[in-house]
Every structure is written in C-alpha cells, then in structure tokens.
Structure 1
C-alpha cells in the first residue's frame, strides 16, 4: 500500500530518470498501480505492516532472497519495520548504497520510556547499517541526533503531486451531488485508516456534537481503508459519519470538503494534509510534529491538541460556523502547498543522496540524478 499511496511519485521519478526500479513489499490490490509506473514489483508475502515474530522471520528470509537475486546498487527503505529490517539486511549483504527515510518515529519525547526505548533503540541501531538517513521532519532528526553518525543525516521534508492535487469546482459539484449534500451544507471529512492512532474516536465525538448542534447544515465523512492488522480498528456504522471507504478520486474528495480534519496522534509529515492544502481546503490538524510543519496555526490552518475531543470540537466548530475563516485559511494553505510541497523536488533529493553516497564511497557511478 505504501508503495502506491506514499511513494508513487518517487518511484515514477526513478523510472523517468532511466533507472531499473523495483518495489519490494507485501502483495496486495495496489500492485497494479505500482507496476503501471514501470516498476517491477517483488512480492514479500510475510513482510506486512504489523509485527509478528514468526511471520517477520519469514519476511527477513524473503527479503534476503530477493536482494541476493536482484543485487541492487541502491536500497532505499521506508516505514518502521521494513526500514529496520531492510537497512540491516542490505548492509550485511553488501548493497553499495543503503538509504532510509524516516516517515515519523513511532514514539515522541513525551511518551513513556517503555515506549520510547525500543523505538529509539531500533532506529538508532538500524541507522548504523545505512549510508544516509533522510528525515521528513526536523523534530525526529533532533530526537535521534545524539546517536546518529555525523554528516550522514538531513531533513528533506515531504511533498505531494501538485499536478494531480488541485482544487476543482467541477469535481466538487460532482462529488457533493453523489453524496447528496446541499451546496450550503458544510462537509467535514477525515482521511486515513480507521484506527485509534489516527484520532477516529475524537473525530466521531466531534461529529456527534456538531451534528447535534447544527443538524443538516453539517455532514461528516471519513475516507480510507479498514486496517485488519490493527487490533484497535474502529467501525463507524451507526455513528452518523458516512464511511466512504477507499477512493481513487482523492482530489475530488478534498475539493468537495469544506473542512479537512486530521486528529492523528503521530505523523511523520502528513501527506493527506498537504493534499488537502493543495486542493484549497480549510484544515484542523493535531498539534504534533508532522502536522505543525504543514502550516502556521491561525494562518494556514487550526491546530488542536491530540486526544482532546473537546478542543477538536471547538476548532472544527469555529470553521463550520465561519465561512470567511474557512476561505482565508484554505487560500493561504493552497499558496503554501504550491510553494513548499512539491513531491518531485523531494524525489530528486533522494537521487542526489544516492549520488552523494556513491561519490563518498568511491563507487564507479555517481550520476543518478533525474
């Protein structure tokens, strides 16, 4: 799923630059999206998102076999589990360039030690096996800096496809007609997996309270997949929130929303928020690292403390009641997105990193730029 939803632009840039590109992940329904980019998908059936010792051991064997067969010049790892396993396996197998992107630590300095210790330890130890560490936000890099090798890490930010994600009045009308909502109904939406860490509980509580206060003048929707691997997956049936499932027309979804809400507990650098911003949608985001980087509170968006349904209801309620505020924030966020969040720039930075590592290590190839 991550290859298609998070890394499609980066993979496309690799292919366009003329590189033989492989995507290694668990198989699934998103594979055709990846192969359509010109990427050869290598299935690793046991290397799924959730942690399971026996299955993960099989996943390690599958990864080792794949790397021995492919003999890549560059291995770029992503996501917590595959990032840890991939960096260690790649370095031990002699892959010339091993790079990792941290999309967000699964612990923050405010968490208890018993949560922070295993997360930080795994990331730091794995970083010793890579040649370069790329971070999407400065807070995560700062957290690990005391244990990272000097000169081997940098903050690259994050981005989205600014050609695809643009506000469309026509798509707004089409999707709102599909949903059966009136032109003057304020549509509030969340996007993401239906799990507690995405703030689904707070979103549902906010929806209940504001629907009771505003009636048919407001409608709430949630877009995204179930996550059967997560024990805290939530169902929204009977809550008054319309669950739209996965959608392939996400630019239309953002265009149709009046307010985008991301009450997540942790983010690396929220892609969905950048997409919403690019589509000129007013936003309420959690006041956490990975969301604060998207914009300034009160200028581009509103921030709300994570896990606080009362605060979330207050922020969303302000936007529901104030059309002028929605318009001002949405336009400012759109301008910031087009100035700062170009995914192709981030992808090009990855290619530059590969070349820099190759040059530093004295490899025979150093030009892997787009």
Structure 2
C-alpha cells in the first residue's frame, strides 16, 4: 500500500465483475481498478467467467477471484437458474459494499442475483450498445452508469428505460498509465522484442475478431508490397471466439496474400509497452469501439496511430493532427497513408508530438481514478467512502464530467 494512503478502518469490500477471462480494454480497466482499490487499503474481489490471462494477473497481484458460470447464465432453463443461484450464494457470503460490473450484458444476467447483496451496483458500458441492449440491461436499476466515452453516454441516456431515467450516467473516458506507456529508445525496444532494426514495423494490439479489422490490415500490406514498400506487421491478441475459427481465417488470408514472411501472429502478450515503443505505426481499422485503450497507449508511447473514423476512435484522434482517420473497409487507403507517413518524417513527428501532448494532459490514469472514486463515493454515500479512504468528508473533491 502506498505510504501516503492511510488504511481505512474498516475496509470496504468492492467487487469488480469482468465479462471475459481474456484481457481486453474493459478487462484491463477492471483489473487496474481492483489493484487500485486494494492499494487504497480496501478489499478487492474479482468475478471472472473462467481461468486465463485475467486470473493469472490476479494471482500475481494476490487479489482474490471467483469463477462464475457465464455459459450457464446465457443458456436459460435449469442451468441458468443453478448458475444464478450459485452467484447469489456467493454474493450473500462475500457481502460486498459495492459491485462494479464491466459489461452491460453481464450486468443484465447477474443483477437479479447481485441484488441479494443489498449493495449499490454500477454498470460500465465500454462499447456501443443498441437501444434494446440498454433497455434490457437497465431493467434492474443500478446506482450509477459509467460509460467510457461521451458518445456512449448519449446513447445510454437516449435509450434507458423509465425505471432508470434518473440514474446518473457519467462519461469517464478511458485513460492510460503513463508510468508504463511512454516514449523510449525505439532501437532498444526492437532489440528487446526481437524486431528487425532496419524495417518499418506496424503493430495491432487487439483481440482477434472480425470487427477489429485485421483483414483490412492484411489487405493493406498486400497493397504496400505491390507498391514496393516492405514492412513487417505484428498482431498481438487472442481469438475472442475461443474456438480459433477467426484466427484460422486470418492465417489462411496471410498465406493466400503471400505475406507469411512479413506477418507474425503473437497471441496474448503482456509486453505491450515494449511492442508499442518498437513500432512505427499502430493500426486499428475497427468498425465499432467504445474508446479504445490501445489507441491511447500507442499515442502515449510516441507511436503514430491510424484508425477508423468511428465515434470511439474519433473522440481521441483529430485527423492529421493527433493521428489519421481512414474508413475501416479501405485497405488501399490504409496502404497509401502508411507509405506517406513512412516517407515524411517531419509530418510523422508533428502528429506524434501532438498526440503525446494530448494524452499526457487529458487521459492520465490518475485523472481517471479520481473520476471513478467520485462515482464510487456517490454510490456509496460520500461521507462513508471518504472516511474509509482516509479523507476528510467535508473536503471537496473534483466531480466527473
């Protein structure tokens, strides 16, 4: 525990509920919040639907976790009832003071069981929901809703059911840990991750899923090769489907496009900062996002970003100022943009510097945590939270946007 933070007496029990055993953007937020709550001197506990990278990180952090039966909750019938009963029994035994669910669908499935705790519940929207998804998820009234972007806040406010019409909906834009993600010696980073010292390196840090745009990048690489521009492209991430079907599609496309000599599929990696510092350009031609952490992490690392002009990405990239925005289904345009940036060091440095300045001033993890603590304080009762955190409850704190 940081020495500047007095231990609360008694500590609060705060649960984070994750939607996946993988570590995507939403999962990373939940894991980081669990560690932060622990560092404040409270008791962190995390719900995960199965073992994997998320539980491995929790074990390393010595944070307790519980495996809930997500497949059974989705199945209906007796299996669903049994899984809900098990979740209800766990929450009654663990008696949390606050439950933060990092996915609206999971909140909708678990909220009947979580209500047994009698604790305030917060539901976190990290990706664009449909109106039906909002109404279904919020049919059980939470204490608060957090969205990762202003765009998603607008969608939730426009679609929430009457029963949740006065529930606070707070946009807390995703943020980056500037202690981990920062510019560094690119040559040293390349040596560390095993990249060629003299070839441009493109990277994607995204789970393998059709909407993320890996196929667009592969087709852009083919266009680059046809233009005589040789680059390497590394893809870090796991198949979100679990069965590996989309990963197989990507490997087949790599072979058919004649790119096996310049493409590497890295799987799950925990050295994201080094990969980003080693890269020349980060790509995310996604068709839908909340507010992608990977874009902020790349910008904080001093890496150029080219992404799609969808609301979640356009909220943090101004075209030709802090990155480039290109439609997700335009591989030839991606190839042209990549070639242009590689051929124009002055333009690249201008964009890189502007993006780094914006991330440092607006998207720091410390600022994010202050906003989350404000939402927690409102849900718990400001005086109780402040006393437990060792602060004077009469001292004003900054409110989230």
Q: CA deviation at 1:306?
A: 2.6
Query: Take 1:52 and 1:256, find their aligned partners in 2: how far apart are those partners?
Result: 44
Counterpart pick for 1:207 among 198, 202, 221: 221
Match of 1:219 in 2: 232
Query: Take 2:342 and 2:180, find their aligned partners in 1: how far apart are those partners?
Result: 27
Q: CA deviation at 1:56?
A: 5.7
Counterpart pick for 1:318 among 337, 340, 346: 340
Change (3 A) 1:212 1:98: same
TM-score by length of 2: 0.79
Counterpart pick for 1:175 among 190, 198, 203: 190
Q: CA deviation at 1:233?
A: 1.8
Match of 1:70 in 2: 94
How many equivalent pairs are there?
352
> Deviation per CA, 1:270-313, whole angstroms, max 9, x where unpaired?
00111101100000011112111222111100111233333333
Match of 2:207 in 1: 193
Gaps of 5+ in 2: 1-21, 391-401
Match of 1:19 in 2: 42
Gaps of 5+ in 1: 107-115
Equivalences for 1:1-370 in 2 at 5 Å? 1-2=22-23, 5-30=28-53, 31-44=55-68, 46-47=69-70, 52-53=75-76, 59-90=83-114, 92-106=115-129, 116-125=130-139, 128-146=140-158, 147=160, 148-150=164-166, 152-169=168-185, 172-176=187-191, 178-183=193-198, 185-216=199-230, 218-229=231-242, 233-235=246-248, 236-237=250-251, 238=255, 239=257, 240=259, 241-359=263-381, 367-369=387-389
Change (3 A) 1:369 1:274: farther
Change (3 A) 1:333 1:221: same
Runs of 4+ deviating beyond 4 Å: 48-59, 363-366
Q: CA deviation at 1:228?
A: 3.7
Q: CA deviation at 1:94?
A: 4.4
Query: Take 1:214 and 1:58, find their aligned partners in 2: how far apart are those partners?
Result: 59
Q: Could you say what secondary structure the match of 2:381 adopts?
A: helix
- Is the CA contact 2:73–2:109 (under 8 Å) kept in the aligned structure 1? no
Change (3 A) 1:316 1:358: same
Query: Take 2:67 and 2:104, find their aligned partners in 1: how far apart are those partners?
Result: 18
Q: Could you say what secondary structure the match of 2:311 adopts?
A: coil
Superposition CA RMSD, Å: 2.7
Higher mean displacement: 33-42 or 331-340: 33-42
Query: Take 1:323 and 1:48, find their aligned partners in 2: how far apart are those partners?
Result: 50
